Amino acid sequence: MTHRRRARVLTGVLGAGLLIPFAASPAAAATPTVSCTSAKAGLAAELKKDIQAAVNARGGTIAVGVYDRSTKTVCTLRPTTRFDSASVVKATVLGALLYESQKQGRGLTTREMTLARAMITKSDNASTTTLWNQLGVTKIKRFLTAAGMTHTVPDPTGHWGLTQITVTDEQKLMKLLTAPGTVLSDARRAYALKLMREVVPSQRWGTPYGAPSTVTKALKNGWLQRTYDHRWRVHSVGAFKGNGHDYFISVLTLNGSGSTMQYGINTIQGIAKVVHRDLHAS
């Protein structure tokens, strides 16, 4: 069977059952290592050691991004490796919706707000498809350009869950949503973060794990198993503020054959736990 023929017949499953076609998986880089810098003495070395240990304890392909404004701390692992986005892309769809309505000089309609809330807080696939189709790939790309998310590539066949994302671009999106800028007004950024803080309890796993209770938590997760390789893609992006810190964490994972969604969740949470601990250590 030719590669083109395989591409037509092989399918995958996204979230609650959306069928999507074959796409290439990210290739694991050779023995990658975590890179960290910080204005706070000793913090970069501690984070590098602890994140690396958490990554080394797990299988699969893992990308990590950490940024703390308060200590000017940056950590990265596989910053430009692309992954199938799964539902993490829904935060980007929301950004594009807000950006386009802002350009049009209007607020969101009641219908758009209902769809956006379902898309972010419940990770509703049907609502996402409606908004994706309303915007169209051209407007999605226009937002990506404005946000500087140059490595994010919408799926050419229109399957939003197969958008190719990198941890670097996910971090750019978190920066955009959490600080004043020219892309989105403060009111629109606040609206996006409000929805991300109201994710239903059953989906509040991932990057918030281990964060102090006094820290505000905004997040979007994604999970996707492809039938052509039976491997889970499990991702989590989160923004956190409190206790003198203003930071965000992105973790993207492609797990080994035979692994489970829970394995990916545990991988993300093991990394998030040490990041929160090290940042908030006295």
pLDDT tens-place string over residues 176-200: 999 999 999 999 999 999 999 999 9
The answer to whether position 11 is within a domain reads: no
How many other C-beta atoms lie within 10 A of the C-beta of residue 2? 7
Is residue 221 classed as helix, strand or coil in its secondary structure? strand
The answer to whether position 64 is within a domain reads: yes
**In one letter, which amino acid is 44?**
A
pLDDT score at 91: 98
pLDDT score at 8: 31
Q: Yes or no: say if 204 and 267 are a contact pair by the CB < 8 Å rule.
A: no
Q: Which of 163, 128, 170 is nearest to 148 (CA)?
A: 170
Q: What is the CATH number of the domain that holds 138?
A: 3.40.710.10
The average pLDDT across 137-150 equals: 97
Torsion sign, CA atoms 256, 257, 263, 264: positive
- Model confidence pLDDT, tens digit, residues 216-240: 999 999 999 999 899 999 999 999 9
Domain containing 232 equals: 33-280
Number of domains in the chain: 1
The answer to whether position 3 is within a domain reads: no
- On the question of pLDDT at 112 being above 60, the answer is yes
- On the question of pLDDT at 12 being above 70, the answer is no
Higher pLDDT, 15 or 179: 179
Q: Which of 130, 129, 152 is nearest to 141 (CA)?
A: 152
The answer to whether position 7 is within a domain reads: no
Q: What is the CA radius of gyration of the chain?
A: 18
The answer to whether position 27 is within a domain reads: no
The answer to whether position 134 is within a domain reads: yes
